[in-house]
Amino acid sequence: MIFASSAKHIKELDQAPDSVLSLNGAAKHILQPIYTMNGFNWFDRRGVEGVGFVKTLRTLLTNNLPQLLPRLSIATKTLVWVIHDLCDHPEYVEPLREELQTSYADFERSTKGLPLLDSFLKESARLTPVESMSVRRCALAPFTFSDGTRLAPGDWGCAPSGAINLKEEYYPSPHEFSGFRFVDPAIIPDKQSPQINQGKPSKLVDVDESFLMWGTGRMACPGRYYSSAFMKVIVGQIIMNYDVALVEPSAPRWFSWRAALLPKDHTLVTFTPLEKKI
């Protein structure tokens, strides 16, 4: 596997023809039984073609990846990290509540607005990305990057998105959580200063070489607008109606599995209804 971390090489991964570097090829690789279904391999048990039912099921699943996989899992896990961040950084709750109080109805009608919440979600996804690899491509034919690095058929090229999220070149104080990092500094509430800010506002759904949550270029996730709105509805409803707190803030909350950062099952969060709904 070759990791491409410069904007130039990531672009080369994206622009190679599908017959040479394939996103679906990478997705099919991920769904091999050896990596899923607890290692149970139908192919080993029933011959190379597998039984009809299993073959059909796997064909449907693999042919519809990556449409299915991210939809089912990544958005909900991203939300878990956002809820943990609300617990870890309670100073953001009040300004977020104020924004929701004035603008949630407009957002519900238009799916636009809520820049403070958008930035909070983006900062959470930057520092705790569910996936730390992006722009995965499997070589179906030999491929050579502009610097001469080669991929043979079957090799993977991808971008280390989790590490890129921590690059000082892209993010001032990259390890610091700064919930309003991505908003226009002019709209940061007074009580929220000082804040580390990018200077140039950007949105959760924006795609560029410094933020690869959604991939990049011609394959960039088409579900990102839906996912962003979906996450804002859930987090917005939580903030408007509950105070959240971790029962054991110092207990380990995550484990890594392959390139993913996943929440542990037993983390408890209390949701205390607000006395008066806003």
Residues annotated in a binding site for heme: 221
Task: Count residues binding ligand HEM (CB under 6 A).
Answer: 22
| Interface stretch with ligand HEM, choices 3-11, 62-70, 148-156, 264-272 (CB under 6 A) | 62-70
Q: How many CB atoms lie within 10 A of CB 154?
A: 10
Residue 165 as a binder of ligand HEM (CB under 6 A): the answer is no
Nearest residue (CB) to ligand HEM, 201 versus 223: 223
- Of 245 and 260, the one with the shorter C-beta distance to ligand HEM is 260
Q: Where are the extended beta strands (E) located within the chain?
A: 2-3, 21-22, 134-139, 143-144, 150-151, 156-159, 242-246, 254-257, 260-263, 269-273
Q: At what angle do helices 93-110 and 224-241 cross, to 10 degrees?
A: 130
- Alpha-carbon span 90 to 86, nearest angstrom: 6
Is 157 one of the binding residues for ligand HEM (CB under 6 A)? no
Q: Decide whether 179 or 215 has the Cβ nearer to ligand HEM.
A: 215
- Rounded to an integer, what distance in angstroms lies between the CA atom of residue 171 and that of residue 169? 6
Q: What are the strands of the beta sheet with 134-139, ordered from one edge?
A: 2-3, 156-159, 134-139, 21-22
Q: Map residues 201-220 to x or -, x wherever contact with ligand HEM holds by CB under 6 A.
A: ------------xxxx--xx
Question: Is 221 a binder of ligand HEM (CB under 6 A)?
Answer: yes
* Token pair listed for 63: 């042919």
Complex with ligand HEM: residue 42 or 170, whichever CB lies closer: 170
Residue 19 contacts residue 141 (beta carbons within 8 Å) = yes
The pattern of x and - marking residues 21 through 40 that bind ligand HEM according to CB under 6 A reads: --x-----------------
User: In terms of CB distance, is 139 or 188 closer to ligand HEM?
Assistant: 139
Sign of CA dihedral 109, 106, 119, 267: negative
Q: Which positions lie near ligand HEM, rule CB under 6 A?
A: 23, 66-67, 70-71, 74-75, 78, 134-136, 213-216, 219-223, 226-227
